[in-house]
Structure 1
Amino acid sequence: MAATPKRIPIEGSTGYGLMTLTMNKIVPQDQAFETINNAIKDGVRFFNAGEFYGSRDDSLLNLKYLKAYFKKYPENRSKMIISVKGIIDPVTFTPDTSPENIKKSIENIISFFPNKYIDLFEPARMDLKHPVEDVVKSIIPYIESGNVGGISLSEVKGETIERANKIYPISCVEVEYSMWSTEPLTNGTNEVCKKYGIPIIAYSPLGGGFLTDSKMMKPLRLTTVSLKLLMNTLS
């Protein structure tokens, strides 16, 4: 029997992105674990990870860190809602949202998690070859099997969100939002998310480090992502 379509609740006004723990400059594992623990102590419940958030030598390092973290702190798994990006080739960094690659990506990701379950699967980008309706339909069997809780989208416009949400309720949408990136307010993202009550995960809100220390600005995203509902605060 098919599961009743539902959204995974996104709690709190801030979340924590795990990319910079394992990508480019690798943070020692003990320090990374302490950082995650401190975030949980501060009330953070939403975390974002990536199948390809690793080093040149090990593209799966982000997932390996999480596997080791939950082995050491199994009690913290229930305190976290984790969205995991997938379907990106770790060498070319190009997306592939074919049914075959979605299957490969999800099955790889869940193998690193307790009980082979992730809260949210997030196609990191659309490849413009496969309609978003088909992408969502390829994820649904894993929701029905109990391996995935819900669906998140990344870097999509309002029209795409609208089409995807008609197939299955979208739990959240992650997009870059800062003074330098205001596209969510003009490409329909904010409007459609407000219409359906979908939280927007606004990453890089401080301009990739520009507003905190311009000397430290790099082509990396901040690890902290804002979870404020833009449909309420910016409309």
Structure 2
Amino acid sequence: MPVSVPAQTFTGTAGRLDDPMTLPALGLGCMGMSDAYGPADRDESIATVHAALDAGIFLLDTGDFYGQGHNELLIREALWSRRREDVFIAVKFGALRDPEGRFLGFDSRPAAVKNALAYTLKRLGTDYVDLYQPARLDPAVPIEDTVGAVAEMIQAGYVRHLGLSEVSAQTLERAAAVHPVRWLQIEYSVLDRGIEASILPAARRLGTVISAYGVLGRGLLSTDWAARKALAVGDYRAHLPRFSGDNLERNLALTGVLHDIAAEYEMTATQIAIAWVLAQGPDIVPLIGARRRHQLAEAIGALDIRLSSGDLARIRNAIPADAPAGTRYAPEQMRMLDSETGAV
């Protein structure tokens, strides 16, 4: 029997992302079904999407560059028997890749925005997407121009809402002056709390929902990491500083507090890590990158946990904001993050 996931109704400064539709407490990040973490099982991926929808997780997050279009085609296949209006599809665009999958940069010119959207609609087999967002800030294009192009597509009915990803507070405010930014997708976990200084306060001032990815630290905070330290061929984490050399062991040592609290709750470390993000506010929606149904079921179990103020303080004290060893991306990728390099 599927587990029911409650919907988040955002009130106060956050507002509601859609009306009458509200977002579920968790979203399903679909990237790993096509890209980044090594081979994925097609049938299991589709079954996981179905399990998420049956549980009330109707927010699916994808990108047109995930598997160079593969992820959008996979989602289309998974949704063929479902009503379009029962699913909220968020799409990232703008990242450029070559035939071997290497990233070449970003293109968020207005013409490129509209071109990318046309191809996305065709691959998804739909006449609109619920939310459209540039994957990164294109340094060659003013954010106002990119936002203006998406706003035109909203006016034309091809897009419902505007989102942004990995931008600074200043960029978020500039964008919101052109058109309301309904969500900001950005990395946020107990290991990555950089948004708390200026980005999260700005989002709350503007009524922008935080779509939090990386809530498990790309696996560092998960229950079964120790059993699968050897990364699969094609797993991009092998190139991330936090998973390299002594950094990996130092970072895994930080997670002990999650396992201790998990034992006290008779839950798992994965669930405690997700519960921590959920506890940071109802305007924060964790994206769960589950590729298999058992991973999804474990994540849903986090909704049964209510961490106490003592638990939250204990976690923050055991994992100081500056404690993780290594940056979250390689240096060249870090330079592409306006959230890290842009003005606050």
User: Shared topology, TM-score over 0.5?
Assistant: yes
Deviation at 1:80, TM superposition (A): 1.6
Identity of aligned residues (%): 25
Deviations 1:211-235 (A, max 9, x none): 111526764599xx9984856689x
Q: Does 1:211 align with 2:224?
A: no
Alpha-carbon distance, 1:113 to partner: 3.0
**Cα-to-partner distance string for 1:24-79 (whole Å, 9 max, x where unaligned):** 4343332211100111122212110010100xxxx1111111222232x233x322
Q: Is the 8 A contact 1:52 1:86 kept in 2?
A: yes
Tell me what 2:193 maps to: 182
Q: Is the 8 A contact 1:87 1:102 kept in 2?
A: yes
1:1-235 equivalences under 5 Å are: 8-9=17-18, 11-24=23-36, 25-54=38-67, 59-71=68-80, 73-75=81-83, 77-91=84-98, 92-186=103-197, 188-212=198-222, 213-214=225-226, 215=229, 219=236, 228=278, 230=280
| SS of aligned partner of 1:48 | strand
Write the distance in 1 (CA, Å) between the matches of 2:110 and 2:200.
28
Distance, in Å, in 1 between the alignment partners of 2:41 and 2:219 is 21
Q: Which amino acid aligns with 2:41?
A: P
- Whether contact under 8 Å (2:182, 2:207) holds in the other structure is no
1:202–1:228 Cα contact (<8 Å) kept:
no
Q: Tell me the distance in 1 between the aligned counterparts of 2:52 and 2:79.
A: 15
Q: Conserved in 2, the CA contact under 8 Å of 1:199 and 1:230? A: no
Which 10-residue stretch deviates more, 112-121 or 168-177?
Answer: 112-121
- For 1:228 and 1:192, the matched residues in 2 are separated by 19
Distance 1:199 1:229, change over 3 A: farther
- Contact 2:203–2:210 (CA under 8 A) maintained in structure 1: yes
Contact 1:136 1:167 in 2 (8 A): yes
TM-score, normalised to structure 1's length?
A: 0.84
Kept in 1, the 8 Å contact 2:210–2:283? The answer is no
Partner Cα distance (2:54, 2:210) in 1 = 23
Across the two proteins, how many residue pairs are aligned to each other?
220
Distance in 2 between residues matched to 1:79 and 1:70, nearest whole Å: 10
**What's the secondary structure of 1:89's corresponding residue?**
strand
Once the two structures are superposed, residues 77-117 of structure 1 have per-residue CA deviations (whole angstroms, 9 ceiling, x without a partner) of: 32221110111112234111111211211111111234421
Q: Is the 8 A contact 1:190 1:230 kept in 2?
A: no
* TM-score, normalised via structure 2 length: 0.58
- Counterpart Cα distance in 2 of 1:67 and 1:171: 24
Distance 1:53 1:93 in 2: 14
Cα 1:42–1:7 change in 2 (3 A) is: closer
Where structure 1 has 5 or more consecutive residues not aligned to the other structure, the ranges are: 1-5
SS in structure 1 at match of 2:141: coil
CA distance in 2, matches of 1:51, 1:115: 14
Q: 2:168 and 2:26 mapped to 1: Cα distance? A: 22
The 1:229/1:27 distance shift into structure 2, 3 A limit, reads same
Flag the structure with higher helix content. Answer: 2
Structure 2: tracts of 5 or more residues without a match: 1-14, 241-269, 285-344
- Confirm or deny: 8 A CA contact 1:151 1:172 kept in the other structure: yes
SS at match of 1:151: strand
